[in-house]
């Protein structure tokens, strides 16, 4: 009984803390017709809110409602489909911003609480645990596909409309942006959330300041591959990112990268996963010479490449 009481107290405490910050959003098209619905959460007191990019799709504005009944118009400040994050600005000056946590510190089995507007029911709270961490989820923008890394898997019930809402830890800190329900029928018990961590904080900051994210583009598709034994021993690690495909005419093709090359470092920074390689392609590397350390034919080599901007 005591354990149940403690669990209940934790969920109630988080619900009371986070619900005032969660927003029901209804995107509108250019004819001001409703085109779906979802959730968001207040990021700053003066009207900025975070949601999922797919919630607003190509809408530029919409209607927003808070749990206390207040309603506002919103406009889209910026969106990044390749991380499935977006920032909205509401016509409000007294929102209750959430406290952000760090998803990189989550542990499997940890209590998490989802707050959102599933199926249009604003202020809905569900609870569960972190089922897994380190998942990857593909995000697409036109022909460009990028893996959102370190996605949180949870069994907290998520339904259509939860997307863009808050996933909080037991202290009420938002550690994820609910983004997907996996499987059919609805309620299968597998939900995914984009993590709130150092990388996504930077994305949100860029969306606020610039309205978009600039990324460097190499023009390769890759996956993890074990390193040859001698290279593995010399580097003190097991894996690198194998080049599986090179886009014709891309910076990678111009630099001479080829399938079966294995990328192990960018400008001296170790690349341990495809996510590391993606994260290294920041705006600072656009149109600048970058040294890729690769393994080719069992030996380490350095290839110089000049990434362009991902369009």
How far apart are the C-alpha atoms of 90 and 226, rounded to whole Å? 49
Q: Which of 80, 84, 169, 261 is catalytic?
A: 84
Tokens of residue 194, six digits: 């984009």
Instruction: Tell me if 74 sits within 8 A of 41, measured CB to CB.
Output: no
To the query of whether residue 54 is one of the catalytic residues in this protein, the response is: yes
Neighbours of 230 (CB within 10 A): 12
Phi then psi for residue 296, to 5 deg, are -135, 125
Look up 232 and say whether it is catalytic.
no
Q: Which residues of 170-189 are buried (b: 16+ CB within 10 A; e: fewer)?
A: bebbbbbbbbbbeeeeeeee
Euclidean distance between CA atoms 24 and 22, whole angstroms? 7
| CA distance linking residue 232 with residue 29, whole number of Å | 53
Q: Which of 67, 117, 163, 273 is catalytic?
A: 163
Check if 163 is active-site: yes
From 37, 39, 54, 67, active-site residue:
54
Q: Which helix (H) or strand (E) holds 207?
A: helix 198-210
Q: How far is CA 47 from CA 81, 107, 131, 206, 253, in A?
A: 22, 32, 33, 17, 45
Residues marked as catalytic: 54, 84, 163
């Amino acid at each position: 009984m005591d354990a149940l009481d403690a669990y209940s107290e934790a969920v109630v405490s988080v619900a009371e803390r986070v619900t005032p910050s969660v927003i029901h959003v209804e995107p509108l098209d250019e004819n001001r017709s409703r085109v779906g619905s979802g959730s968001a959460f207040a990021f700053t007191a003066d009207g900025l809110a975070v949601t999922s990019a797919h919630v607003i799709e190509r809408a530029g504005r919409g209607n927003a409602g808070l749990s206390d009944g207040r309603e506002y118009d919103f406009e889209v400040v910026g969106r990044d489909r390749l991380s499935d994050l977006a920032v909205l600005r509401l016509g409000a000056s007294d929102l209750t911003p959430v406290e952000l946590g760090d998803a990189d510190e989550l542990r499997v089995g940890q209590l998490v609480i989802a707050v959102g507007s599933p199926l249009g029911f604003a202020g809905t709270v569900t609870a569960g645990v972190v089922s897994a961490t380190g998942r990857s989820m593909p995000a697409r923008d036109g022909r460009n596909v990028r893996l959102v890394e370190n996605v949180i898997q949870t069994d907290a019930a998520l339904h259509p409309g939860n997307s863009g809402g808050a996933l909080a830890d037991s202290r009420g800190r938002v550690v994820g942006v609910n983004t997907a329900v996996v499987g059919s029928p609805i309620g299968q018990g597998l939900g995914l959330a984009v993590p709130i961590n150092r990388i996504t904080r930077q994305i949100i900051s860029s969306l606020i300041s610039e309205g978009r994210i600039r990324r460097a583009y190499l023009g390769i598709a890759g996956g993890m591959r074990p390193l040859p034994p001698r290279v593995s021993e010399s580097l003190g690690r097991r894996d690198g990112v194998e080049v599986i495909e090179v886009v014709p005419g891309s910076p990678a093709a111009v630099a001479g990268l080829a399938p079966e090359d294995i990328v192990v470092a960018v400008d001296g920074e170790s690349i341990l996963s495809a996510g590391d390689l993606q994260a290294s392609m920041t705006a600072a590397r656009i149109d600048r010479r970058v040294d890729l350390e690769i393994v080719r034919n069992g030996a380490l080599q350095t290839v110089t490449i000049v990434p362009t901007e991902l369009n």
